[in-house]
Structure 1
Amino acid sequence: MNNDILSIAKKTIELESNAIANLTNLIDSNFENAIKCILKSKGRVIITGIGKSATIATKIVATLNSTGTPAIFMHAADAIHGDLGIIQNNDVVICISKSGNTPEIKVLIPLIKRNNNPIIAITGNKDSFLGTQATYTLNTFVEKEACPNNLAPTTSTTAQLVMGDAIAVTLLELNQFTSKDFAKYHPGGALGKKLYLRVSDLVENNEAPKVNIDTSVKNALLEISNKRLGATAVLDNNKLAGIITDGDIRRMLNKSDDFLSLTSLDIMSKNPKKIDINAMAIEAMDVMETNNISQLIVVDKQDNYKGIVHIHDLIKEGIF
């Protein structure tokens, strides 16, 4: 039975991957002209479909919006019952349908054409009503659905989704959409935070534990415990001299029975890893991962001590 399960899964993936690979053979001047049409448009991209194609349409809308191309979903059935008003004069309409011959599509297309909106078809049948009536037709033909009965939309919807991604990425590159633009559209998500969150945003709510080089180990331990960052900076005449971490304390206890006579200078780690307060938070993550550490000393441009950023700060923000 296990072999059957794996065999079915592998066959499904193989069928769909072959169909996607074949899309490169179906891309032609229609795709190029469709992209130029969207770039030239002063309106939005309205994407419509019915059934599983409607579900794919909503995902393509989300991808376009997140990459700088304003898009709106319009269900094909609802469009002919009042939602057609979504489409404005300068909008481009993308219509998705495997067969291109569903009743709703046949009613909808003439209504859109009456308002002279360009129509981009994504269909598996370029000779269908949709394929022949559209301004530009993007062929997503697949030989067979992954469904053994060749009924459930599987391979065909995957092909539609990939064609939508090809549209979105092409527009993204031609519009020179940058990582800063991406962050602007994703301010609340982990992806956006990686692109805009700075170390200063993380340390502003943290205390800045610090002791002097002549501070007793006992008081250094109290500072670490009270500030709850697992470490403290060690200063010499207000200049950074080192760092004491929980690990340093444990190593000291293993080596010395008379730790009460020791000072911070005796157990600190010199030349600690540092990061500029204006650096990106993701840079702090990279330094921690590379050096297998949990804390980073934060300094300003003049190398003045500003605090400590902890790995938990990054985890809390969803970056690590």
Structure 2
Amino acid sequence: MSSAIVQMQELRCHFGSGDALLAAVDGVNLEIEAGEVLGLVGESGSDKSTLGRIIAGLQPRSAGELIIGGEAMPRHYNRRQFKTMSTQIQMVFQDSYASLNPRMTILASLQEPLWSQGVDAAAARAKACYWLERVGLPQSAGERYPHELSGGQRQRIGIARAFIAEPKLVICDEPVSALDVSVQAQIINLLQELQTEHNTAMLFIAHDLAVVRFLATRTAVMYLGEIVELGATPHLFEGPRHPYTAKLLAAHLDGVIKERKLAPAIRGQSAGHKAPLASDSGCRFAPRCAMAEPACSANPPWLRPTKVATMAACHRLADVEILKLRK
């Protein structure tokens, strides 16, 4: 029996039809284990958020299997299935204002997930008051409306609302990117405390690789809807095996990954400028990869084990490994 909270098998999310069928998420095979923090990184346009929304039941998938808590989920949830899923999975959004009902007080917003679970009014109110204090806000904040709070305060409410229902998995979609730098560290520390305290699995989607390195147990690298590298965070950050991962780290973590022959500069447009078609063949990174050869554009690569206990989807993985050994 798997200990995974979520299992994805050949997960796909396509938009459009015919020759113009766009592949937002394409063939993702991934598991999220109980109690782990899985970081998901990649450029804008890699559709990291789309994958998170599929898991949370906010975006239907086109194909593939999604298994949550051992139960295979349909492509479109009915009311019962969505309620079952929402008790196990909650989400913290980037836009803290849009994620809260502007017509509900903060206290009511915190109680809403408990009401849906059948918790009585008195117990729900007591728990909401506890969570206000747990995320560092005064009781008086409960009587306010979202527009009366700062961005950092609203995000604390979003975090409390996600954890209050005691889910098995919390999906954090760029939870600090819209906040002031002075507030970001406080929110990250709060998330780490709550995840450790409740042993809740977490999918942490972010652009900030330093934050992912700090929080994540494992890290998955996504490029144009596909997972190109996956493994324990220390191994992946210290010894990236996919050319895209190496340059992504070099670009964002100056001094952590040095410029090497292994990782020539990324060429061409960023991931967000070209939506891949479902009919495309070969490696999607090949047009921007200085290591690419003709076979890279002809056949899609697959995730294979590396010598550092990670997995990478690269036709030239053997050459990359040799270059690493020769350093």
- TM-score, normalization by structure 2: 0.23
The answer to which structure has the higher helix fraction is: 1
The structure with the largest alpha-carbon Rg is: 1
